[in-house]
Amino acid sequence: MNDQNKIYLFDTTLRDGQQTTGVNFSVSDKMIIAKNLDELGIDYIEGGWPGANPTDNDFFSRDLNFSTSKFTAFGMTRRPGRSADNDPGLNALVNSNANTICLVGKSSSYQVKSALGITEEENLLMLSDSFNYLKNKNKESIYDAEHFFDGFKNNKEYAIECLNASYNSGVRWIVLCDTNGGTLPNEISEIIDEVKKVIPSEKLGIHAHNDTENGVANALAAINTGVRHVQGTINGLGERCGNTNLISLIPSLVLKTNFNTNISKDKLKSLTKISNTLSDILNEPKPKNSPYVGENAFSHKGGLHASAVAKDPSTYEHINPDLVGNTRNVIISDQAGKANLLSQLDKLSIKIDNNELSQILELIKQKESEGFSYDVALASFELLVRRHIGQINEYFSLNKFRVTDERRWNAKGKLVTDSEATVHLEVKNEEKMTVGVGNGPVNAIDSALRQALINFYPTLNDLKLSDYKVMILSSDKGTGAITRVHIESTDDSKRHWTTVGVSSNIIDASYNAIYDSITYKLFNDLNN
């Protein structure tokens, strides 16, 4: 493969993906996702819009130390009536930690006049001024040509003028956006062939939306027509029907074409885990029917299918599921499970023998059958292993707890809810009973535990529960369903960890997750 075959992958999960209805990433969420993308080998990670909200400001202030990816900030061209160097939005981008900046700008005459309410000439000046400004600041720049395909169909000449304005201003990539997602693959190819007459294909990219279920198909059509930069999201997140799904596009490129990417076949094995991790972060069920990574992608139910696959998997499988980190549901490979487990244990510097390895694998399978999931809750996974091999001290034991909630009108006529928790513990051969109050039962339990433990373990003073997620695992049982709780924690050392608790009682599940969080904190504080 040569450089002409190199495809540059641009992930916008943390920006365009966050525009999905119901999605709102915390800084901790963004850090987990970004780390996974960097390890995978994504060329550009678009972290968000600095200056637009406190979460993105916080995220862009972090020192992420990417090994392969370019940290990219998103924003818009200068505003009408302002100079580029006097535009607060552009300056927020330039002053961020990002070395690459992606600017969205109109490329449709209709959108310029109707949505922006400015002249075509002013829009062209906004493009050229903004990208010249970034060039003078030594920033790599990307032009997201918004509404390009619709604009081209409506006014070809002006759409091309917009591309030329950015091209002549030193932009690195010109990304053709199917913003409304209504363009079909044959149209994508035909229009890009026209664009290539004025803009070199090695400067072109594609940003497709999935409103006709053609997000991946349109990206592949664009690549085959000559573009070398592709934008998309993990699991196809994005506004309305989503964006090009990189989880589907990447293995198709790596395994089925002669194009080159930064993603090796070895790294490709993490794809299922990355997809599942995002689902866990969003507190959503893992998409079973997703190509390559879904639970059903390599499931074989029919007798004929199962019989054939047992003889030769290629009879009903287009690839080996191991290539993308997935598994076959007919043939269960214990060796594959052990390999995954050994990889995690190696990261934790835990050495165990084969007998213990088999025992732990069976224990994990048993816990997962009960509703536990360790894809995100790696702190609970580590504690599970260390408990099994006798490396964890139980720093306290719970005798019982009680939680009460009160809903009332206060003296000012305002409706309020109060929670109170009483815990009975044994700590270092002492019995402790404390009462905590909070803005909910989980907060009250956490408060009561802290009060009981703080004199024995002062480092708990800096423990913070930063996020709390609940998933109902058996919705058919209504209010009696099994509940999974994930709790994210952090402390002053900037450690972040996630724990999991499972129970038919949501408060009990929450306590179990809090217990693991405190234990993980104490284990690291007292052994490092």
Choices 3.30.450.20, 3.40.50.150, 3.40.50.300, 3.20.20.70: CATH for 3-263: 3.20.20.70
pLDDT confidence bin for 129, thresholds 50/70/90? very high
- Res. 36: pLDDT tops 90: yes
78 residue type, one letter: R
Q: What would the pLDDT profile of 316-337 be if each residue is shown by its tens digit?
A: 999 999 999 998 865 222 333 5
Q: What would the pLDDT profile of 184-223 be if each residue is shown by its tens digit?
A: 999 999 999 999 999 999 999 999 999 999 999 999 999 9
Residue 8 has what DSSP assignment? Answer: E
Per cent of the chain over pLDDT 70 is 95
d(CA 317, CA 448): 54
Query: Residue 404's beta-bridge partner residues?
Result: 420
Report the mean per-residue pLDDT for the chain. 92
In 3D, which of 456, 439, 453, 437 has the Cα closest to residue 517? Answer: 453
Helix 506-527 vs helix 378-388: crossing angle, to nearest 10: 70
Q: What would the pLDDT profile of 496-509 be if each residue is shown by its tens digit?
A: 899 999 999 999 99
When mean pLDDT is compared across 177-191, 434-448, 464-478, the lowest value belongs to 464-478
pLDDT confidence bin for 401, thresholds 50/70/90? very high
Q: Where in the chain is the domain with CATH 3.20.20.70?
A: 3-263
pLDDT of residue 329: 66
When mean pLDDT is compared across 18-22, 65-69, 234-238, 297-301, the lowest value belongs to 297-301
d(CA 62, CA 1): 36
For 28, the token pair is 């901790």
DSSP for 181-238 reads S---HHHHHHHHHHHTTTS-GGGEEEEEB-TTS-HHHHHHHHHHHT--EEEEBGGG--
Q: Where in the chain is the domain with CATH 3.30.160?
A: 396-456
pLDDT of residue 476: 58
Q: What would the pLDDT profile of 2-33 be if each residue is shown by its tens digit?
A: 478 999 999 999 999 999 999 999 999 999 99
pLDDT of residue 1: 39
- Third-level CATH fold of 396-456: Double Stranded RNA Binding Domain (3.30.160)
pLDDT of residue 254: 97
Q: What would the pLDDT profile of 334-389 be if each residue is shown by its tens digit?
A: 333 566 677 678 888 999 888 898 898 888 888 888 888 887 788 999 999 999 99
**Residues sharing a CB contact under 8 Å with residue 245, sequence separation 6 or more, in sequence order:** 210, 215, 216, 232, 233, 234, 235, 236, 290
pLDDT of residue 27: 93
Region 73-87 average pLDDT = 95
DSSP for 323-345 reads GGT---SSS--HHHHHHHHHHHH
Region 420-434 average pLDDT = 95
